[in-house]
A and B are shown apart, each in its own frame.
Chain A
Amino acid sequence: GDSVTQMEGPVTLSEEAFLTINCTYTATGYPSLFWYVQYPGEGLQLLLKATKADDKGSNKGFEATYRKETTSFHLEKGSVQVSDSAVYFCALKTGGGNKLTFGTGTQLKVEL
């Protein structure tokens, strides 16, 4: 079945540091890939998505490229801020319907 593996957290960075959160997947067919973010005490919000190989999703300075050859969708940001502190979830969806398969989430803490 489908699965998503993302790096264990928590990740602690200083403000303005470079961020990478690794995500790899296993899927039947050709999935769409998503990064969701959950700020403290809130629900999940879509951060970015990519729907086919070599697509790059981007939003709020975050980027991720759909790499079919390595089955990866790593999240990157060049300079993190304290306000980026949150839990980040990688997810995929295949075929029709609305079933998302999530990774376990990676907590990011950014300090001054």
Chain B
Amino acid sequence: NAGVTQTPKFQVLKTGQSMTLQCAQDMNHEYMSWYRQDPGMGLRLIHYSVGAGITDQGEVPNGYNVSRSTTEDFPLRLLSAAPSQTSVYFCASSSEQTHTDTQYFGPGTRLTVL
């Protein structure tokens, strides 16, 4: 099992550019999430999905879009990048809806917006 994979590892964008951060998992997990990590703020939830075709907003969704066409993939789209979106982005997945379940994280994508 590769677990949760993310690409790219690093990315530099100019303000206004668009891009897609890729996330895939091979554990057949129903639940997937995107977080951003900023200094002094921990991780904050951007969007999440409870299964293919179902997505919902998290704490900080503005400026980001997601879709979930398959169980395995959960891409995060930045339509018009802004410097405030400079951050480290983590994708996570988990298998069950119970509150006891563990989330598994990918290695992260470090994004810089100039």
Q: Footprint of B on A, CB under 8 Å? A: 4, 31-32, 34, 36, 42-46, 49, 51, 89, 93-100, 102-105
Q: In the assembled complex, how far is the CB of residue A99 from the closest CB belonging to chain B, in whole angstroms?
A: 6
Contact of B105 among A44, A49, A95 (CB under 8 A): A44
Which of chain B's residues has its CB closest to A49's CB?
Answer: B102
- Report the number of A-B residue pairs with Cβ-Cβ less than 8 Å: 68
A89-B97 contact, Cβ under 8 Å, with A49-B102, A97-B48:
no
B33 CB-CB contact with A under 8 Å: yes
Interface residues on chain B, size class? 20 to 34
Whole-angstrom CA separation of A105 from B35 in the bound complex: 14
A97-B105 contact, Cβ under 8 Å, with A103-B42, A105-B42:
no
| Beta-carbon contact of A51 and B40 below 8 Å | no
* A94 CB contacts on chain B under 8 angstroms: 99
A98-B103 contact, Cβ under 8 Å, with A43-B90, A43-B108, A44-B90:
yes
* A45 CB contacts on chain B under 8 angstroms: 105
Whole-angstrom CA separation of A31 from B101 in the bound complex: 11
| Beta-carbon contact of A96 and B98 below 8 Å | yes
Q: In the assembled complex, how far is the CB of residue A91 from the closest CB belonging to chain B, in whole angstroms?
A: 8
Q: Footprint of A on B, CB under 8 Å? A: 4, 31-33, 40-45, 48, 50, 58, 90, 92-94, 97-108
Q: A43-B90, A49-B102, A100-B92 are in contact. List 7 more A-B contacts (CB 8 A).
A: A31-B99, A32-B100, A46-B102, A96-B98, A97-B97, A102-B43, A102-B44
Whole-angstrom CA separation of A46 from B92 in the bound complex: 12
| Beta-carbon contact of B100 and A97 below 8 Å | no
| Beta-carbon contact of A51 and B50 below 8 Å | no
* A104 CB contacts on chain B under 8 angstroms: 40-42
* B45 CB contacts on chain A under 8 angstroms: 99-100
Which of chain B's residues has its CB closest to A89's CB?
Answer: B42
Whole-angstrom CA separation of A100 from B46 in the bound complex: 11
Q: In the assembled complex, how far is the CB of residue B77 from the closest CB belonging to chain A, in whole angstroms?
A: 20
A95-B99 contact, Cβ under 8 Å, with A43-B90, A43-B108:
yes
Q: In the assembled complex, how far is the CB of residue B67 from the closest CB belonging to chain A, in whole angstroms?
A: 17
Which of chain B's residues has its CB closest to A44's CB?
Answer: B105
